[in-house]
Chains A and B, each alone.
Chain A
Amino acid sequence: GAGVSQSPSNKVTEKGKDVELRCDPISGHTALYWYRQSLGQGLEFLIYFQGNSAPDKSGLPSDRFSAERTGGSVSTLTIQRTQQEDSAVYLCASSPGPGQGSYEQYFGPGTRLTVT
């Protein structure tokens, strides 16, 4: 079946521009996560959605970052006025949700963002 998909796979943008990253989770998965992976770094948690609500936004690095999820499905991560330090791979993951077994997260291939 279809896994988690993300688009675009690569994005190059100029400093100061806004970007929007998209994540399509596995159908039926209620939980959705965004992580950031900078070069040579581990995974940095950004935000978690349960359905359309985000009980944990603690990982968003600044107010230039925002995310939304509509219809309990697709999510977009928006970065306004991009800075060079925003360059990273942005990973999305989904899981069936709380109380649904082993809590395995299924990851998308990521969007590589380069800010020039």
Chain B
Amino acid sequence: GEDVEQSLFLSVREGDSSVINCTYTDSSSTYLYWYKQEPGAGLQLLTYIFSNMDMKQDQRLTVLLNKKDKHLSLRIADTQTGDSAIYFCAEPGTYKYIFGTGTRLKVLA
């Protein structure tokens, strides 16, 4: 079935690294996405990775993809209070995205 799983909460101290994990179901997905939702706002694409890549780095963000285990992670280096948000991983399904439940990241000053 279609199910993308994430842990619900993560709390880190400012300056530490955050790692948000996701497991997905469809091994044929061509792209996998991370979206960020700040309080009271819609979702914004944060980054994505093409399925033939193992890793993608974009400034403070590192995406790791383990296709064998269908595991995706997002690492945020030097986490800041402005990174506090809900982070969703998503894979494209037929006609729609399949979103994870979202991980609420809380950054403690």
Residues of A within 8 A of B (CB): 4, 33, 35, 41-43, 45, 48, 50, 55-56, 59, 91, 93, 102-110
For chain B, residues 31 to 88, give those with C-beta under 8 angstroms from any C-beta of chain A. 31, 33, 35, 41-45, 48, 88
The CA-CA distance from A93 to B35 in the complex, in Å, is 13
Quick check: A109 and B88 within 8 Å, CB to CB?
no
Which of B44, B48, B97, B101 meets A33, CB within 8 Å? B97
Given A42-B102, A102-B31, are A107 and B42 neighbors across the interface (CB < 8 Å)? yes
Chain A minimum-CB-distance residue to B86: A42
Q: Does B99 reach chain A (CB closer than 8 Å)?
A: yes
The CA-CA distance from A34 to B97 in the complex, in Å, is 11
Contacts of B99 in A (CB 8 A): 35, 42-43, 45
| Shortest Cβ gap from B20 to chain A (Å) | 14
Q: Contact flags (1/0) for B81-109 with A, using CB distance below 8 Å?
A: 00000001000101111111110000000
The CA-CA distance from A59 to B93 in the complex, in Å, is 13
Quick check: B88 and A42 within 8 Å, CB to CB?
yes
Additional A-B contacts beyond A42-B99, A43-B43, A43-B88 (12; CB < 8 A): A42-B88, A45-B96, A45-B98, A48-B96, A55-B95, A91-B42, A93-B43, A104-B33, A104-B48, A105-B43, A109-B42, A110-B42
